[in-house]
Amino acid sequence: MSNAEIDRQWTTRLRRKAAGKLPPEKLLPDTQPSYVASWIYVFGVATLASLGVVIFTGCILAIRGPQWWHGSQYGHFINSLHLWSVEIFFFTMVIHLWGKFAMAAWRGGRTLTWMTGVVTFLASIATAFTGYASQSNFDAQWITTQAKDGINATGAGAYFNVLNLGQMLMWHIVLLPIAAVVLTGLHVLLVRIKGVVPPFEDDVQPATQKVAVGE
Amino acid sequence: MTKKAFRPDVDAPEWKGGHTPYDIIKEGTIAVLVIALLTLILAVVFGSPDETAITIKSWSNADPIDFATTALSELNGTSTSAAYGAPYNHNGTSQQIGPLQLAKWVGVRIPINAAQAFVIQPLKALPNEPTLDAGLAKYTSASSSTQTTWLNAYAKAATNMKFVKGQVVVSAPSAGPVPVMINDLTTMARSGALDQDLLNDNGFYTTDYTKPLLFLADGQYLGNLATEQHLGGDQWGMMNETGNYPGQSWLWLYTFWYQIPPFNNSGNGDALVWGVMMVLSVLLLLVPVIPGLRSVPRKLRIYRLIWREHYRDSGGTS
Amino acid sequence: MATILSFAAIFPLNTLGHYIHWHWFYISVANLIVIILMVVTFVSALLLPFPGRRRRKENQ
């Protein structure tokens, strides 16, 4: 094989493009800009950590099946862990959103970072909804019989039947977690690629300031 | 170097300042430990709710008159499910936003004929019921105008419905076989057989609870229990959880619209709320490209708190 | 032998919820506490000093 042939391979091109965009020292950095000096910055990693606990506790619930927690004190405890980790997940994610808005964190070519964050937020709401629909208790009965009206009004109810426990459970434990993890992964990789957004400049001269990275 | 106008809400200055050591793996580990510990504490202290599901059996035993009244509404086509429209049937006007009739355009994909699904087919499944079988045969072979006459007679008398010694008592001599049908369906429900029958329509194995849930929701019993728990639509119920547990506070804006006109008194309320929320979601997604909206952070100046150390050290410049 | 580990909650919140009702505004005490905590946490995160200032100054 010639070098030119190797250079043309999909694998080679993909690896070089990925490594170019995200070399190891960017993927796992050992320094950060000195302006990253506020407690508001911990809410991104706190959201990630919460997501980890949500998924881990969800996996334990999956081991024994969807009815286990109704009859087992241990199962009910795992359910409690799952519920509270979800509450903490939304708590930290919304504070993270407030902080990123306050920083206008989309600046400097970070629009896609913002957008993946918003889509992840919306996907999380959908994931939580299917979780509530999968509880197989009174709360699930009420939530699904009410939610069906909203979803039916969009036309989606014809295919996304919230009264179908099996469908809701599979969306909750397969499709939506995959979406949430992929979206979160993209979001985090974008943060690593673009770096943390620099502060606003309060004395900027618009006409002469050079643009480092922009739309 | 090409110079173009710097847009403070779009562009970011190049950072030429210092960097500090940062241990990302340690940060992640600490975050996981802290969050796991917090989760553990909350779970140990507060637990989680688990209100037992109601069944058609528990409903019909707790409130047989509500059950029987609901059964009548399924049979005479006045229940919510019977008159719903898409995706269940063609009997109702689906919700729309202006000219957009999304539900109607998608059509009936989960067909439910309420009278057949909730009353006639389950009753036909009961074995060794000669009086009922004769009544069912009479009802199903009658013309629709005769059926309507019977149903109207029963409905008029049903305002004085009583439940005595396990029997639904309605004095309606001109209601044909309807009294027997409603009474026997109530007995079937109270035994638990109706719960199972509504599920087994899909075969031995099923996880689809569409029919029993639609039937439950058509009655007052489920809604009354929900109202007691502050889960009703006009109680901001979408945000709430049973008991004293925190619920889904992130749904505050979604449920807010249901509390105010025109959403709370429109037949298209659900469609309107979804429409508004979709527009707002798209706006949130597109903040970076919406002039004015993307300037709000700079005007709010909360960032001065976040980066106060930077501004102090650099005198407000980069 | 007594069971050392019990998984029952210490203060289960299963009693009927407490709600605050003001005109058309209606919120559970639990949700209100969560939202207040979020605002307090956000404001605290903005105001509390972040450790490592000396190190950052040295690296400028």
Out of 3.40.630.30, 2.130.10.10, 1.20.810.10, 3.40.50.2300, which CATH number does the structure's domain A106-198 have? 1.20.810.10
What mean pLDDT comes out for the span B222-250? 93
State the pLDDT confidence band at B2, using cuts at 50, 70 and 90.
Answer: low
Which chain A residues are within 8 Å of C48, Cβ to Cβ?
39
> Between the CA of residue A80 and those of A27, B43, B45, B144, C29, what are the distances in Å?
34, 5, 10, 53, 20
CB interface of C with B, residues 19-58, below 8 Å: 19, 24-31, 33-35, 46-47, 50, 52-53, 55-57
Q: Does any CB of chain C come closer than 8 Å to the CB of residue A108?
A: no
pLDDT at B4 over 70: yes
Considering only the beta carbons, identify the residue of C7, C45, C53 that sits closest to A40.
C45
Q: Which chains touch B (3 or more CB pairs under 8 A)?
A: A, C
Query: If you count residue pairs, one on A and one on B, with CB atoms under 8 Å apart, how many are there?
Result: 309
Instruction: Give B10-48 pLDDT, tens digit per residue.
Output: 999 999 889 999 999 999 999 999 999 999 999 999 999
pTM: 0.93
- pLDDT of B168: 97
State the pLDDT confidence band at C55, using cuts at 50, 70 and 90.
Answer: confident
Q: Give the whole-angstrom CA distance, residue C19 versus residue B234.
A: 13
What mean pLDDT comes out for the span A118-138? 97
- Cβ contacts of C57 within 8 Å, gap of 6 or more: B313
- pLDDT of C24: 79
What mean pLDDT comes out for the span C36-54? 95
pLDDT at B316 over 60: no
Q: What are phi and psi of B199, to 5 degrees?
A: -85, -40
State the pLDDT confidence band at C58, using cuts at 50, 70 and 90.
Answer: confident
One-letter amino acid of B152: N
Nearest residue of C to residue B244, measured between CA atoms: C17
Q: Sign of dihedral through CA atoms B119, B120, B121, B122?
A: positive
pLDDT at A1 over 80: no
DSSP string, B183-224: HHHHHHHHHTHHHHHHHHTT-SS--B-HHHHHHHHHSSHHHH
- pLDDT of B314: 82
Considering only the beta carbons, identify the residue of A37, A76, A95 that sits closest to C42.
A95
CB interface of B with C, residues 6-25, below 8 Å: 17-21
Q: Sign of dihedral through CA atoms B20, B26, B31, B33?
A: negative
State the pLDDT confidence band at B246, using cuts at 50, 70 and 90.
Answer: very high
What mean pLDDT comes out for the span A190-214? 71
Q: How far is C18 from chain B (nearest CA, A)?
A: 7
pLDDT at A211 over 90: no
What mean pLDDT comes out for the span A49-78? 97
One-letter amino acid of C55: R
> Between the CA of residue B315 and those of A57, A138, A139, A165, what are the distances in Å?
48, 59, 56, 60
Q: Does any CB of chain C come closer than 8 Å to the CB of residue A87?
A: yes
One-letter amino acid of B75: L
- pLDDT of B318: 40
Give which of B54, B89, B306, B313 to mutate to test A binding, by max A Cβ within 10 Å: B306
pLDDT at A204 over 60: no
Which chain C residues are within 8 Å of B306, Cβ to Cβ?
46
Say whether B39 and A81 touch across the interface (CB within 8 A): yes
Q: Give the whole-angstrom CA distance, residue B135 versus residue A174.
A: 48
CB interface of A with C, residues 170-199, below 8 Å: none
Instruction: Give A2-19 pLDDT, tens digit per residue.
Output: 789 999 999 999 999 999
Which chain C residues are within 8 Å of A74, Cβ to Cβ?
7
pLDDT at B83 over 60: yes
Query: If you count residue pairs, one on A and one on C, with CB atoms under 8 Å apart, how many are there?
Result: 40
State the pLDDT confidence band at A209, using cuts at 50, 70 and 90.
Answer: very low
Say whether A38 and C45 touch across the interface (CB within 8 A): yes
Say whether B244 and C13 touch across the interface (CB within 8 A): yes
> Which range has the worst mean pLDDT, B186-195, B202-211, C4-13, C35-44?
C4-13
pLDDT at A132 over 80: yes
pLDDT at A205 over 60: no
pLDDT at A77 over 90: yes
Q: What's the mean pLDDT when you consider all of chain A? A: 93
Give which of C38, C47, C54, C55 to mutate to test A binding, by max A Cβ within 10 Å: C38
State the pLDDT confidence band at A67, using cuts at 50, 70 and 90.
Answer: very high
Q: Give the whole-angstrom CA distance, residue A176 versus residue B25.
A: 27
Query: Structural domain boundaries of chain A?
Result: 40-103, 106-198
What mean pLDDT comes out for the span A158-172? 98
Say whether C45 and A37 touch across the interface (CB within 8 A): no
Q: Give the whole-angstrom CA distance, residue B102 versus residue A153.
A: 7
Nearest residue of C to residue B258, measured between CA atoms: C24
Say whether A76 and B50 touch across the interface (CB within 8 A): yes
Instruction: Give B117-136 pLDDT, tens digit per residue.
Output: 999 999 999 998 999 999 99
- pLDDT of C52: 87
Considering only the beta carbons, identify the residue of A38, A74, A80 that sits closest to C50.
A38
pLDDT at A206 over 50: no
Considering only the beta carbons, identify the residue of C38, C48, C59 that sits closest to A94.
C38
- pLDDT of C23: 83
CB interface of B with C, residues 79-98, below 8 Å: none
Say whether C42 and A99 touch across the interface (CB within 8 A): yes
Q: How far is B236 from chain A (nearest CA, A)?
A: 12
State the pLDDT confidence band at A208, using cuts at 50, 70 and 90.
Answer: very low
pLDDT at B214 over 50: yes
Has the ipTM of the complex gone over 0.85? yes
Query: Structural domain boundaries of chain B?
Result: 56-226, 229-285
What mean pLDDT comes out for the span B75-93? 96
What mean pLDDT comes out for the span B218-235? 94
Burial C8-26 (b: 16+ CB within 10 A, else e): ebeebbbeebebeeeeeeb
DSSP string, A31-85: EEETT--SGGGHHHHHHHHHHHHHHHHHHHHHHH-TTHHHH-HHHHHHHHHHHHH
- pLDDT of C8: 83
Which chain B residues are within 8 Å of C14, Cβ to Cβ?
49, 242-244
Q: What are phi and psi of C17, to 5 degrees?
A: -65, 155
Nearest residue of A to residue C39, measured between CA atoms: A95
Instruction: Give B95-115 pLDDT, tens digit per residue.
Output: 998 899 999 999 999 999 999
State the pLDDT confidence band at A20, using cuts at 50, 70 and 90.
Answer: very high
